[in-house]
A and B are shown apart, each in its own frame.
Chain A
Amino acid sequence: MRSGEPGGVAHLYVHLPFCAARCGYCAFVVEVGRDDARDAYLDAVLAELERERGRLGALETLYLGGGTPTLMGAGRLSALLAAISPLLAPGAEVTIEANPETVDQNLMAALAGAGVNRVSLGVQSTHPHLLGVLDRQAGPDDAARAVRAVRAAGIPRLSVDLLLGVPGQSQADLAADLAWVTEVGPDHVSWYELEFKEGSAIASGPHLPPDEDMSADLYEEAVEGLEAAGYRWYELANFCRPGAECRHSLAYWRARDYVGLGVGAVSTVGGGRWRNAPGLDRYVAALGRGDAPPRTQEPLDADTRRRERWMLGTRVDEPLDMAWAGSPDRPAALDVLEAGGLLERGRGTVRLTRRGRLLQNAVMQEIMDF
């Protein structure tokens, strides 16, 4: 395995899997009804941090994701952040994901004090009926309250997560979400298309995803609405006010090395990738014994890395530097795609057009041999 980037890994993800209930569309590594295990889990994560510390350099970004990280409670989160802070570079981005109904001013104040400077709020929808379809715990007013709490605590940066293509969602529903975002004015918005993931409750019916034209209409409406409100469509599903990109996510899209701690977390360092196995107890037990957590290794050969750089690098609006990414498997496809208005070329660079972005999968299939 090649060693990582010089200076060490600069991006750290910590997975905090506890949730009050599993939302019907969610297929992430989540633990429901295991709040009793939070202390042990914290210890285990800290132990894993110790094991991985050697790989880490000055951290440019830290991301506490979930699950519902806020369910860890102020004390444990502060302890976790205290252990990590010495590793942070000056000006590091420290994000925590938060479910609106779990946010209050005290918690936010504690997090601000512990170094959090960015909150990603899982709003998903502003409509009670769609929140119902999604099995969300939060009501429509929780989001606004959470926003106030974040701001009152002085946390400078706020992102909201929204979903489109929720069964039953009309263009008018989406327009209302847009109006809400415009009014609240977060500096970053992630507007994901709802995926019907294998294994999630929603994928087993009775709801169906909207057809291609409907979801394209919704997508375009979201993009155009946010752009009109002054956001930049800087990644397929992400929008920001000038300078407010999510630096942690950018690291993924730029194919940088990162380390992930916790159950289900993924790390990519040098030529290798590994994933901690899901399963809270096994994770806690292994680290308790002083062992590495159960993991699956995935060696990444040069071709895989090259294809991933294309796959990731064409998600963002900055041109992909082909000298950095490596050559396309089918260079001739670039001409066809350019002529068809799906991508633009600069000097040694490639960037998807607006139409091309919505067809990123198809474009990738043309260019690369996955």
Chain B
Amino acid sequence: MRQVSEEQTRDPVVRARLFAEHELADRAGEFDRTGRLPRDVIRKMADEGLLGAAVPKRWGGHGLDPLAYGELTESVGKACASTRALLTVHTSLVCETLAERASDRLKGKYLTDLATGRRIGCFALSEAEAGSDAASVTTRYVKKGDIFVLDGRKKWISFAGIADLLLVFANDNGVSSAFLVERDMPGVEIHPMSGFLGNRATHIAEVSFTDVEVPAENLVSGIGLGFGFVANTALFHGRYSIAWAGVAIAQAALEVMCAYATEREQFGTRIGSHQLVQKMVADAVTQVAAARELCRRAGRLRLERSTDAVMATNIAKYFSSTIAQQVTSDAVQVLGGNGCWDQYPAERLFREAKILEIIEGTSQLQQLMIADYGYKKFAVRSRGGEDEVL
């Protein structure tokens, strides 16, 4: 474990790393087995300022820039994927989105509480029949005087089991809007789900809304801005978090793989000296380094507020979740029987990595967007006498 100076311990990124190494890494297996993230961990995250890490200081956060927030996400994600998922959902999908898209009045009402961990937020977009095609949600809203009435059912909502506030997306005859719904508003029911491949300690639930009356001031941004502005802003932040989550899991798997390969002996020699094992290690080292650089590039573009940041984030998310899957699979392979046994972390990392290829837009959806970008950027053709980029 690296030594840290007194000055460094005031740096939120260093503190997050220490917290992850000392308080999460050894407990990740337990969280996975019990299927819950204990309250003491969430409280500690709040005390450490992790839950508002990327939120502007004005609203109670640390105001970390995207590169520092990415590094922090990697530290937490390397130690425990379910704990990192709380950052993805609460901090990236909910807090960062409200910081950018909510009115000051709504921020005053909720954002400071969220950034300081007094309330936990979750992101309720998906439904049983609306996954990749998220704009097609059937949860409805109707405006009645100065309230909105919501009806419908959401599925797969991470942390809905413990969240106080839900960012909910609903449609009114094709007009999509986003609302902040408090858990204890009458008509909100939470139905916990279990049996997941990974993210087992993320308190996933279905949420039903029956005639839920939401004050008009809880509308985020405006009527009709739910999917185009609010959900897409959220996914922009969420995908950045998942991109770093892929680096985190792959880095953890790489370390497990290297430690094992330099210890375990077969045929009278360390298995790490077999060239076929070296190939897996070399590929893992290279892929992790490449994924981390793509994440940093996305982070730099976000810092510059470049419009290229959106595609750079999609590319980083797609690549790092893909290599996380490959590297964790190779870690299981290098550990052999022990790789398939829950007394070693490789099998958990393998399960966690697969989730990253599904959430925040599946790999196929990323491929569609990246290919479209590729055509626009690289298919230069002559039209009407002038060259133009499609």
Pairing of A with B: no
Q: Which residues of B contact A (CB under 8 A)?
A: none
